[in-house]
Amino acid sequence: MLGIIGGTGLTQLANLKIKRRQIVRTPYGEPSGPLSYGDICGYEVIFLPRHGHGHTIPPHLVNYRANIWALHSEGVRDIVSVATVGGIHEDLHPGVIALPDQVIDYTQGRKNTFHDGGDMPVKHVDFTEPYCPRLRGLCLEAAQNINESLVDGGVYGCVQGPRLETRAEINRMERDGATMVGMTGMPEAALARELGINYAAICPIVNHAAGRGNSVHHIHYEDTADVLNETMERVRKLIERMVVGHAC
- Assess contact for 177 and 64: CB atoms under 8 A: no
Kindly give, in sequence order, each residue whose CB lies less than 8 Å from that of residue 233, ignoring residues fewer than 6 positions away.
none
Summarised one tens digit per residue, pLDDT across range 73-87 is 999 999 999 999 999
* Residue positions forming the annotated binding site for substrate: 183, 207-209
Q: How far is residue 201's CA from residue 204's CA, in Å, rounded to a whole number?
A: 10
Summarised one tens digit per residue, pLDDT across range 183-238 is 999 999 999 999 999 999 999 999 999 999 875 556 655 667 778 888 888 999 99
Q: What is the pTM of this model?
A: 0.92
- Identify the bridge partners of residue 65 per DSSP, sorted by sequence position: none
What is the domain-level CATH number for residue 154? Answer: 3.40.50.1580
Residue 32 domain boundaries:
2-247
* Residue positions forming the annotated binding site for phosphate: 8, 50-51, 184
Burial of 96-135, coded b for 16+ CB within 10 Å and e otherwise, reads bbbbbbbbbbbbeebebbbeeeeeeeeeeeeeeebbbeeb
CB-neighbour burial class of residue 239 (10 A; exposed 0-12, middle 13-18, buried 19+): buried
Number of domains in the chain: 1
Residue by residue, DSSP assigns 3-15 as EEEE-TT-SS-TT
Summarised one tens digit per residue, pLDDT across range 86-131 is 999 999 999 999 999 999 999 999 999 998 776 767 788 999 999 9
* Residue positions forming the annotated binding site: 8, 50-51, 183-184, 207-209
